[in-house]
Structure 1
Amino acid sequence: MLRAMSKTFEEKLREYARVLVGTGVGLKAGGKLLINAPIDAVPLVREMVAEAYRTGALDVRVDWRDDQLERLRYTEGSREAALFIPEWVMEQAERMVDDGYARIGIRGDDPNLLAGVDGQLIAERTKRGAELSRKVSAAISGHTVDWTLGAMSTPAWARSVYPDLPEAEGVARLWEDIFTVSRINEADPAAAWQAHTDRLARLSAYLNEQQFDAVHFRSAEGTDLTVGLADGHIWDGGAMTGPTGTRTVPNMPTDEVFTAPHRDRVDGVAVASKPLSVHGTLVSGIRMRFEGGRAVEATAETGQDTLQQLLATDEGAARLGEVALVPASAPVAQTGSLFNMTLFDENAASHIAMGRCYSTNVQGGSDEQALTAAGGNRSLIHVDWMIGSPTTDVDGLTRDGNRIPLMRQGEWVVDAAN
């Protein structure tokens, strides 16, 4: 792919906004859009709003957030305040789903935002929020609403990624990372995304033709995990067709192809290759042992309490809802940085997710009974953590016992990858 001539920061920001609106959610004339973003994202949000209206949007709404206000709820408020979520907030979100608003979420969170806050209290509020937002979560996971996630460089996030750089330099470098992995530095970003998602579609098609019984991971870090796949599972990745019939890209960046595990057929050991930021706390050094689909042992070098609280959310939280394959040479990995943000780090390494599966990853999965019968997992949570590395080998296991190489040393070895 040809690289563009040097672009100014303002030009890159404008093109990023265009890609998020046009390629990310595929907004069309007459469409409606909701943007959720941190207050630091004002310049990017203004560009997205302008692009949406130029496209012919009927309405654009912005839901601003200041993450420090969330911390103050815990540190200065009462227990009742920490757990209070007005039902009308969720009712409004449901109305917007019903009314067909596409959704763009912009991430730039401080991975250590809630460090030192009572983890049990965070877990209780998170669970209550998940219970109240079931309808919206189902719409997002079932792709009955067009959505995408992007990112912006904030001082707090940049300090986490580049702690040795002066703040301004860290913010600038992180912006350049975002532009690189989002293909904004290409001569034609939209065309680059088309070619990339076409390649992911070929990989998904190959895996769907095989209908493997399971995939097996082995790495030098200690992972030795067999993930049985749901009956009638569907591999997906890259672009999807949303409810409007529009081609969308739910995550930017994205380099994964993923599907639904069978909730009762996961066995072995998984060792994290990267830390996980969850509930504003970094959890590192995760090691889990699975038997019959359930995590029966789970330890972490840091954030152990947070990990245990996560797995105790509900019955399905200690089982898998996703398995994803990502090459070790993906653009996010090539930056050489650890981003401490799942949106980025999950696209640098193969990963698994605790909790809820995506209904679109199982044939007939929009029917809850059919999804459960196929082995799909149900939960209030869906939390990805990374187990892939440049030492990871992945095999597809057939029902008659054959082993088909899919990845060696973290890279695709099947023809469909070309």
Structure 2
Amino acid sequence: MVQAQVQEKYAELTLKKGVNLQKGQAVMINAPIEGAEFTRIVARKAYEMGAKDVHINWVDDELTLLKYENAPDEVITNYPEWKVKLHDTFAEDGAAVVNIRSTNPDLLKDIDPSRVAKATKAAAEAMVNFRKYTMNDRIPWTIISIPSKDWAKKIFPDKSAEDAVASLWEAILKIVRVDQDDPVAAWDKHNETLRTAREVLNKKSYQKLIFQAPGTDLEMELPEGHIWKGGSAVAETGVTFNPNMPTEEVFSVPHKYGVNGTVSSTKPLNYGGSLIDNFSLTFKDGKVVDFQAEQGEEVLKHLLDSDEGARRLGEIALVPDESPVSQSGLIFYNTLFDENASCHIALGKAYPTNLEGGATMDLEELDKHGVNDSLVHVDFMIGSDKMDIDGITADGKSEPVFRNGTWALDMK
């Protein structure tokens, strides 16, 4: 197990740069039972920083699996009202939300995908109000990961469980910069780098992006008034926070009716406890009209059928191949990490904050601007060191944005 002192640094970084915890603020933590030791450190640090309350929502993979194996559909599809009220109450109080992830990628691989899809949809419908708080940056929130034995063994199958966990801890801590002397200062510098990248793209204000790579030939329009974001975000209270740790992306919103062509995945997608791998999607006028997958095709179908918006895109994110996640050479089977290894897109709901004035628009207004809505938001990876991207300017000129998986624009 990683030394307690290092875990303390990680917990402190999570609270200082992840949610930027303020004195007198409440904290809600969603955490795995297997990570109880680390979660207690986060809770203690939060109280030491002046948190007025720290509430933990515990998750256990084994209990989750038992429920899917044994509970009837009416239980699986019933998301408890008390859970909704719990989240809404903390959100209304302006709490900081910390999500600690370490789920086994293969947890639900033997469960009927239709049951998982029903449960996922029920939860998404129930939590619509709470999601407005996070996707509109009304409260500070962050997602981090810690190792679990099953997850670590998936990444390092030839190692013992103990050695696999130790190796995964080492990889995570390096990627989130906890291995540096001053992780907070390292994140300040990193956020500045991402701020520069998004400012360059916002000045360009491309009308369209064209993606070319093996298995990918995609044309993507961008809405007028789109905004590139990345790194830190700013909550309604003015507090700066980092929603994802790690993060290597700058991201914006595609036009929901303006995507055409085919795109192929470059890393496995862990969705609903099952893996979808080596898949491709074909778009016409923004909508997926054809798809195929070597693994998890039925799971992919259920994802696409979640609702009308699930077949359209809600995000485009650019990540250079020199990202530390990519350079680790590891496949994490965890979207938080794998999406920061390469360029990716997301099926489903867009972030309204990626459009000028979008945070105050209703769904009808957002639709008129080409901003997608859905119950789902699922990122999957399309980038590699073979990815080329061109930007089409307002006057119709084409210029290189990415070449061979890295920036072709001057990002200094």
Structure 1 residue 227 corresponds to structure 2 residue 220 = yes
The aligned counterpart of 2:229 is: 236
Letter in 2 for 1:290: F
Structure 1 residue 17 corresponds to structure 2 residue 11 = yes
The aligned counterpart of 1:4 is: none
CA distance in 2, matches of 1:406, 1:81: 49
CA distance in 1, matches of 2:322, 2:250: 15
Whether the 8 Å CA contact 1:224–1:270 is kept in 2: the answer is: yes
Deviations 1:165-203 (A, max 9, x none): 111111000000110111001111000000001110111
Deviations 1:184-239 (A, max 9, x none): 011110000000011101111111111100111111x2111111112210000000
Which residue among 384, 393, 412 is the counterpart of 1:398?
393
Whether the 8 Å CA contact 1:364–1:371 is kept in 2: the answer is: no
The aligned counterpart of 1:252 is: 245
1:49 Cα offset (Å): 1.1
Whether the 8 Å CA contact 1:26–1:248 is kept in 2: the answer is: yes
Deviations 1:128-171 (A, max 9, x none): 11111001112111111110000101001001111111111110
The aligned counterpart of 1:109 is: 103
1:400 Cα offset (Å): 2.1
Whether the 8 Å CA contact 1:289–1:298 is kept in 2: the answer is: yes
Structure 1 ranges of 4+ moved more than 4 A: none
Structure 1 residue 126 corresponds to structure 2 residue 120 = yes
Letter in 1 for 2:224: D
TM-score w.r.t. the length of structure 2 is 0.98
Whether the 8 Å CA contact 1:364–1:370 is kept in 2: the answer is: no
Which residue among 135, 140, 145 is the counterpart of 1:146?
140
Which residue among 63, 74, 77 is the counterpart of 1:69?
63
In the alignment, structure 1 segments of 5+ residues that lack a partner are 1-7
The aligned counterpart of 1:385 is: 380
Give the aligned CA root-mean-square deviation in angstroms: 1.0
The aligned counterpart of 1:266 is: 259
1:395 Cα offset (Å): 1.4
CA distance in 1, matches of 2:16, 2:171: 21
Structure 1 residue 296 corresponds to structure 2 residue 289 = yes
Letter in 1 for 2:229: D
Whether the 8 Å CA contact 2:30–2:56 is kept in 1: the answer is: yes
CA distance in 2, matches of 1:327, 1:364: 29
1:88 Cα offset (Å): 2.0
Deviations 1:60-118 (A, max 9, x none): 11111102111111112222222222212112211111111110000100011001111
Alignment of 1:312-327 (within 5 A): 312-327=305-320
Structure 1 residue 182 corresponds to structure 2 residue 176 = yes
Deviations 1:18-41 (A, max 9, x none): 000011000011111111100111
1:346 Cα offset (Å): 0.1
CA distance in 2, matches of 1:385, 1:238: 19
1:297 Cα offset (Å): 0.6
Q: What's the secondary structure of 2:294's corresponding residue?
A: coil
Q: What's the secondary structure of 1:370's corresponding residue?
A: helix
Which residue among 165, 168, 175 is the counterpart of 1:171?
165
Q: Mean Cα displacement is larger for which, 344-353 or 161-170?
A: 161-170
Letter in 2 for 1:235: W
CA distance in 2, matches of 1:370, 1:38: 39
Q: Mean Cα displacement is larger for which, 48-57 or 258-267?
A: 48-57
The aligned counterpart of 1:282 is: 275
In the alignment, structure 2 segments of 5+ residues that lack a partner are none
Whether the 8 Å CA contact 2:314–2:351 is kept in 1: the answer is: yes
The aligned counterpart of 1:3 is: none
Q: Percent identity?
A: 39
CA distance in 1, matches of 2:112, 2:160: 31
Deviations 1:260-287 (A, max 9, x none): 1000000111000001000100000111
How many residue pairs are counted as aligned between the two chains? 409
Q: What's the secondary structure of 1:348's corresponding residue?
A: coil
The aligned counterpart of 1:334 is: 327
Q: What's the secondary structure of 1:261's corresponding residue?
A: coil
Whether the 8 Å CA contact 2:76–2:118 is kept in 1: the answer is: no
Which residue among 351, 367, 373 is the counterpart of 1:372?
367
The aligned counterpart of 1:80 is: 74
TM-score w.r.t. the length of structure 1 is 0.96
Which residue among 46, 53, 56 is the counterpart of 2:40?
46
Q: Mean Cα displacement is larger for which, 41-50 or 229-238?
A: 41-50
Whether the 8 Å CA contact 1:225–1:270 is kept in 2: the answer is: yes
1:370 Cα offset (Å): 2.9
Letter in 1 for 2:313: L
Which residue among 37, 57, 63 is the counterpart of 2:51?
57
CA distance in 1, matches of 2:228, 2:114: 35
The aligned counterpart of 1:5 is: none
Q: Mean Cα displacement is larger for which, 134-143 or 74-83?
A: 74-83
1:243 Cα offset (Å): 2.1
CA distance in 1, matches of 2:59, 2:197: 37
Which residue among 286, 304, 311 is the counterpart of 1:311?
304
